[in-house]
Amino acid sequence: MGITKTPSLQTKLPNVGTTIFTVMSALAAEKNAVNLGQGFPDFNCDPKLVDVVTDAMKQGLNQYPPMTGVPVLRDAIAAKIKALHGRDYSAASEITVTAGATQAIITIILAVVHAGDEVIVLEPCYDSYVPNIDLAGGVPVRVPLTPGTFRPDFDKIAAAITPKTRAIIINSPHNPSGTVWTADEMLRLQEILAPTNVLLISDEVYEHMVFDGQQHQSASRFPGLAARAFIVSSFGKTYHVTGWKVGYVAAPATLTAEFRKVHQFNVFTVNTPVQYGLATYMADPKPYLELPAFYQHKRDLFRKGLERTKFKLLPCEGTYFQSVDISDVSDLGETDFCKWLTSEIGVAAIPLSAFYGNGFDQRVVRFCFAKKDETLNAALQRLQTL
C-alpha cells in the first residue's frame, strides 16, 4: 500500500455543485457575449473613494482594526441609519463591520440557528441562504413569493411558522425580481412575528436603489421588527466596489453580542484602510442619496430598449436587476434559453429558476443593468434582433 493517500470526505453540502452563475460567466467569456448575468458594475467607483483609502494606507493604518470595526466607521453607520430611518443604534454595541454581506449572513445564521431549527426563506432567493442554513444544521423552510409579482404571501408565511421556527430571511429591494416591500407589507410582517420568538434577518444590500420616488422600508423603521432583526447592508453595492467585500450588521445589543462571538472566529476583522476610507467618504451623504437617480437612469434606458423586443417586462422597483418573461421569444426553458441567448445572440442572462430550490421554471430571466450605458446599448442592439 502506498504512503500517499487523500482521505475521502462526506460533503456537508451535497446539493451544491457548479452554480449557474459560474456556468453563464464562463460561457459569456467563451462566446465574447455582453455579460448582463453578473451582478456587479463594469464601471469604476468615485476616484475620491480610492484616494481616501490610499491616504489611510499611507498614514500607516494597515494593522488589525478592532474586531467589531473601526469606531469612526461604526459611528458613521449609526448616524446614517438614524438620519434615514430614525432608529438609534449604539455604534459600540449594536453595529459590526463585516467582510461583505454574504459573510454577515452566514455569521448571523451560525450564531442563532441550532441543529433542527427551522429558518423560513422566501423564494426566489439569493443562493447563499439555504447552504448557510444547512451548514448550521438548520432546516430551510421554503415559502414562495407570489409568482409573477414576487410579493410576499403573508398567509403562507404565517402558516410556515412553527414552534421550531428560529428565523425568517427577507430581502428588499429583492434580488432577483427587483420588488420592493411596502410599509404596509413590513407592518404585516411585524404583526405576524409579534407573538413569536422568531428572529428576522433583513437583507438590505440594495437599500439605496429604490426608484420612482419610493422609500426603502428598512426593518429598522419598525420598532417591532427592529427589536428582533439583524439588518445587513453592503458598501460594495452602494459605492460600486463589490470586490472590497465590506458590509455591516445592525442589531440590538443582545443579538449583536452573540453575532460577534461567531464573527471573531470566522473572519475576526475586516480590511483596516478600507474601513477608514469609507468612514471619511461617508461624511458626505450625496453619493448614496443620489444613487436612486443614477440607477433609475440605467433602468429606464434599458427598459426603453427592451420595449423594442418581444420580451415582456416585469416591474423593477429597485435593485439593478430587470426580469423579463421570455414566453413570446422562445419555447425553451429558462436555463436552456440563457445558454442559447449567450451563445447565439451574445448576451448573458440568469434564469430565475436558479433562485429556487426545486428549479421552478416560470419562463423568466434576469438581466443586470449595473453597466456602462455603452454596455447596455451594445446588449440592446443584440437583443433587438430577436
Contact 190, 224 (CB under 8 A): yes
How far is the C-alpha of 95 from the C-alpha of 260, rounded, in Å? 10
> What pLDDT does residue 18 have?
82
> What pLDDT does residue 21 have?
85
> What pLDDT does residue 17 have?
83
Contact 323, 364 (CB under 8 A): yes
Report angle CA 227, 65, 96 to the nearest 5 degrees: 10
What DSSP string runs through 188-252?
Answer: HHHHHHTTS--EEEEE-TTTT-B-TT-----GGGSHHHHTTEEEEEEHHHHTT-GGG--EEEE--
Of the candidates 132, 106, 108, the residue with the CA atom closest to the CA atom of residue 13: 132
Q: What does the domain layout of the chain look like in residue ranges?
A: 20-45+291-383, 47-287
Task: Please name the helix (run of DSSP H) or strand (run of DSSP E) that holds residue 26, with its range, or none.
Answer: helix 20-31
Domain 47-287: which topology?
A: Aspartate Aminotransferase; domain 2 (3.40.640)
What are phi and psi for residue 335, nearest 5 degrees?
A: -65, -45
Angle between helix 100-112 and 253-266 (nearest 10): 110
In three-state secondary structure terms, 328 is coil
What DSSP string runs through 28-92?
Answer: HHHHT-EE-SSSS-SS---HHHHHHHHHHHHTT--S---TT--HHHHHHHHHHHHHHH-----TT
Q: Which three cell numbers stand for residue 250?
A: 445592525
User: pLDDT tens digits for 56-66?
Assistant: 999 999 999 99
Q: Which three cell numbers stand for residue 362?
A: 416560470
In three-state secondary structure terms, 27 is helix
Residues of the chain with pLDDT under 70: 1
Contact 231, 220 (CB under 8 A): yes
List the helix and strand counts (H, then E) for the chain.
Answer: 15, 13
User: pLDDT tens digits for 209-244?
Assistant: 999 999 999 999 999 999 999 999 999 999 999 999
Amino acid letter, 355: F
Domain 20-45+291-383: which topology?
A: Aspartate Aminotransferase, domain 1 (3.90.1150)
Residue with cell 443586470: 368
Strand partners, 249: 96, 232
> What pLDDT does residue 1 have?
58
